[in-house]
């Protein structure tokens, strides 16, 4: 069954990414905690803390199923093309967030997921399924060479599968990872896609190959960024700025992130859902960076439409 094949592949991806991050950190090891969901399914939460490079991070696998939550039925794009509405769902994915110690090392996030919904037994209609995912970079200080490396790496993955994917999914990421109440992007973006189905020459099998390559690209990209920046010096002022930027990250995840909302609405495991939050963050009233500072430059680059690649 396709869903079982993809879930097993995701388990392997979780394991390989954790091994790569442990090697790059050189000190900390991931803890492993299997969990089960009362309504159906479960997952494995793997967390790394207090490393040489990584202050806190998680690489989570989940495969959950059950009745479709009401909030999904209210979203037009999730309805099933049938005489009835969907009755049950299955979702599996790997979700990653890394919060480094050194403010010169960026925060990174990735999620790739497979989702399916089925109509009630005995009613007309077919099971619908799709792929989703995204990977984005949130530097505390925007290093333009790192942003170019990150986007060029993602563009190479996308271009291998379809010429339209990078520009389309890059724009989607700019729009999705946007803190509307701050009028700024969460970071330098990346790619984001959802409801990816068979479309013309891109069969579902071809999109699975693309989806897998996005997942496999993570370890090489982030360990390179760790290596480039982990030993750079920083001051107490830069550490305080890191905490402010982490606060912005938390704001996005708690206010806008659909994955967080899905986990909460489907009675997911709260420790795994909130794994994405940083260990420490700061909110200073009406904080404004000093004119001409590196902090001001970073804020000026947190906007949509920059052609980093």
Per-residue pLDDT tens digits for 198-242: 999 999 999 999 999 999 999 999 999 999 999 999 999 999 999
Q: Has residue 70 got a pLDDT over 90?
A: no
3-class DSSP state for residue 189?
A: strand
Please give the torsion angle defined by the CA atoms of residues 282, 288, 290 and 293, in that order, rounded to the nearest 10 degrees. 70
Q: Higher pLDDT residue, 215 or 120?
A: 215
What integer best gives the mean pLDDT of the chain? 92
Q: Which residue has the tokens 């970071």?
A: 187
Q: What is the structure's pLDDT at 122?
A: 44
Per-residue pLDDT tens digits for 289-307: 999 999 999 999 999 999 9
For residue 74, what pLDDT band results from cuts at 50, 70 and 90?
Answer: low
Handedness of CA 33, 34, 40, 41 (dihedral sign): positive
Decide if 20 contacts 105 (C-beta within 8 A): no
Q: At what angle do helices 144-161 and 204-229 cross, to 10 degrees?
A: 160
Q: Which residue has the tokens 């967080």?
A: 260
Decide if 257 contacts 179 (C-beta within 8 A): no
Q: Can 109 be counted among the known catalytic residues?
A: yes
Provide the percentage of residues in the chain whose pLDDT is more than 90.
Answer: 82
Q: Has residue 124 got a pLDDT over 60?
A: no
Any idea which of 24-28, 48-52, 115-119 has the lowest mean pLDDT? 115-119
For residue 84, what pLDDT band results from cuts at 50, 70 and 90?
Answer: low
Q: What is the structure's pLDDT at 87?
A: 80
For residue 79, what pLDDT band results from cuts at 50, 70 and 90?
Answer: very low
Per-residue pLDDT tens digits for 53-65: 999 999 999 999 9
**Structure-block tokens of residue 21:** 């991050």
* 206 exposure class (CB count in 10 Å sphere: 0-12, 13-18, 19+): middle
Q: Has residue 73 got a pLDDT over 80?
A: no
Q: What is the structure's pLDDT at 67?
A: 86
Considering the candidates 109, 151, 181, 291, report the single residue annotated as catalytic. 109
Q: Has residue 125 got a pLDDT over 60?
A: no
Q: Has residue 181 got a pLDDT over 70?
A: yes
For residue 83, what pLDDT band results from cuts at 50, 70 and 90?
Answer: very low
Q: Higher pLDDT residue, 77 or 264?
A: 264
Decide if 81 contacts 45 (C-beta within 8 A): no
Q: Has residue 85 got a pLDDT over 70?
A: no
Q: What is the structure's pLDDT at 80?
A: 43
- Residue 222 phi/psi, 5-degree rounding, is -75, -35
Decide if 10 contacts 94 (C-beta within 8 A): yes
Between CA 30 and CA 60 the distance in angstroms is: 11
Q: What is the mean pLDDT of residues 116-121?
A: 71
For residue 126, what pLDDT band results from cuts at 50, 70 and 90?
Answer: low
Any idea which of 44-48, 150-154, 255-259, 284-288 has the lowest mean pLDDT? 255-259
Q: What is the structure's pLDDT at 293?
A: 98
Structural domains in the chain, CATH included, are: 2-300 (3.40.1500.10)
């Amino acid at each position: 069954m396709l869903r079982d094949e993809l879930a097993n592949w995701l388990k392997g991806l979780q394991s390989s990414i954790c091994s790569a991050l442990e090697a790059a950190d050189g000190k900390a090891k991931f803890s492993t905690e299997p969990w089960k969901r009362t309504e159906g399914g479960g997952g494995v939460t793997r967390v790394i803390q207090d490393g040489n490079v990584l202050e806190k991070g998680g690489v989570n696998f989940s495969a959950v199923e059950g009745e479709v939550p009401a909030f999904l039925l209210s979203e037009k794009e999730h309805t099933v093309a049938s005489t009835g509405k969907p009755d049950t769902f299955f979702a599996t994915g790997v979700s990653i967030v890394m919060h480094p110690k050194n403010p010169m090392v960026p925060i990174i996030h990735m999620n790739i997921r497979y989702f399916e919904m089925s109509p009630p037994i005995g009613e007309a209609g077919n099971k619908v399924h799709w792929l989703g995912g995204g990977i984005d970079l949130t530097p505390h200080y925007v290093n333009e060479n790192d942003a170019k490396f990150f986007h060029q790496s993602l563009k190479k993955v996308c271009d291998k599968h379809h010429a339209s994917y990078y520009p389309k999914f890059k724009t989607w990421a700019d729009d999705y990872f946007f803190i509307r109440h701050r009028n700024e992007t969460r970071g330098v973006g990346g790619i984001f896609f959802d409801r990816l189905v068979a479309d013309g020459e891109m069969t579902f099998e071809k999109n699975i190959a693309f989806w897998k390559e996005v997942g496999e690209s993570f370890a090489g990209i982030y360990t390179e960024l760790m290596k480039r920046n982990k030993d750079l010096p920083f001051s107490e002022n830069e550490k305080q700025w890191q905490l402010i930027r982490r606060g912005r990250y938390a704001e996005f995840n708690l206010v806008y992130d659909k994955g967080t909302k899905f986990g909460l609405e489907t009675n997911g495991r709260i420790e795994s859902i909130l794994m994405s939050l940083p260990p420490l963050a700061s909110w200073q009233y009406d904080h404004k960076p000093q004119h001409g500072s590196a902090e001001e430059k970073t804020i000026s680059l947190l906007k949509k439409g920059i052609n980093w690649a």
